[in-house]
C-alpha cells in the first residue's frame, strides 16, 4: 500500500523537506541554546507556535470554521476536528497538539468499515490502508521503545508534526513523510546494538571473544 502512495511521498517530501530541514538545523544549531535538550526545545517551540498562530491564524486561514463545519458534515463526523480547531484558534495549540496530530494521521480509521464498499477509492482505500499501516509501524516502534526525542529521526518527525499539525484542513496525505520517517526509525539499530557490534569486532581482533554479558559490562563503564 505504501507503493501506491509512493508518488505522493515524493511530491509532499519535495514540498516539505526544505521547511522541515531548515527548522531542524536551526533547532540543533548554536542559535538554539537548548539544542542539547530536545524535550525542552519541543516544548518551547510548540508554545511559540501556539502564540504565533493565535495572532495570525485568522489572517492566514480565514473562514476556517465554515470549512471545518462543511468537512464534518461531509464525513458525518462527531465534531472533534472542529472542537480541536476552536481551541487551536484560541491559542491552545500546545494543549491539543498530541490529539490533533493523532487524529490527523489515524482519524480516518473510524470509517474503516467503508473500505468494503468505498464511496471513493483514494480516500477510503488508499489513505485508509496507509493510515492502518502507519499505525502498525508506530505501535511497533513504541513497543521497541524507539519513540525517543534523543533519536534524530523521531526528532525530525516531531518537528514535522508540529509544523503541519497547524493546518486547519483535515488531510492525512500531509503526513505521508511521517510514515517514511517511522520506517527509517524502526529499521535503525539501537546505540547499544551498534556498540556491542563494535566491541565484538575489537574482541575478535584481540583474540578474545567476549560474551554479550561482558560486552554489556564494558559498554556500561
pLDDT digits (tens, 9 = 90+) for 108-142: 898 888 888 888 888 888 899 999 999 999 999 99
- Tens of pLDDT, residues 136-161: 999 999 999 899 988 888 988 998 99
pLDDT number for residue 97: 93
Helix, strand, coil content of the chain in percent (nearest 5): 75, 0, 25
What does DSSP assign to residue 31? T
pTM, to two decimals: 0.71
What does DSSP assign to residue 2? T
- In degrees, rounded to 5, the angle at the alpha carbon of residue 148 between the alpha carbons of residues 46 and 51 is 0
Amino acid at each position: 500500500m505504501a507503493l501506491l502512495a509512493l508518488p505522493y511521498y515524493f511530491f509532499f517530501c519535495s514540498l516539505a523537506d526544505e521547511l522541515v530541514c531548515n527548522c531542524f538545523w536551526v533547532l540543533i544549531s548554536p542559535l538554539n541554546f537548548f539544542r542539547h535538550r530536545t524535550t525542552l526545545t519541543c516544548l518551547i517551540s510548540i508554545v511559540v507556535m501556539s502564540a504565533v498562530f493565535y495572532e495570525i491564524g485568522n489572517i492566514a486561514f480565514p473562514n476556517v470554521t465554515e470549512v471545518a463545519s462543511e468537512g464534518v458534515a461531509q464525513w458525518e463526523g462527531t465534531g472533534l476536528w472542529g472542537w480541536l480547531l476552536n481551541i487551536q484558534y484560541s491559542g491552545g495549540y500546545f494543549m491539543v497538539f498530541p490529539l490533533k496530530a493523532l487524529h490527523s494521521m489515524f482519524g480516518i480509521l473510524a470509517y474503516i468499515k467503508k473500505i468494503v464498499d468505498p464511496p471513493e477509492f483514494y480516500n477510503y482505500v488508499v489513505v485508509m490502508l496507509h493510515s492502518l499501516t502507519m499505525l502498525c509501524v508506530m505501535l511497533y516502534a513504541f513497543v521497541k521503545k524507539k519513540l525517543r526525542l534523543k533519536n534524530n529521526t523521531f526528532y525530525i518527525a516531531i518537528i514535522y508534526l508540529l509544523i503541519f499539525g497547524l493546518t486547519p484542513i483535515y488531510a492525512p496525505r500531509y503526513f505521508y513523510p511521517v510514515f517514511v520517517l517511522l520506517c527509517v526509525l524502526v529499521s535503525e539499530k539501537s546505540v547499544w546494538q551498534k556498540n556491542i557490534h563494535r566491541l565484538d569486532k575489537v574482541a575478535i581482533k584481540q583474540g578474545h571473544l567476549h560474551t554479550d554479558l561482558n560486552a554489556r559490562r564494558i559498554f556500561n563503564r
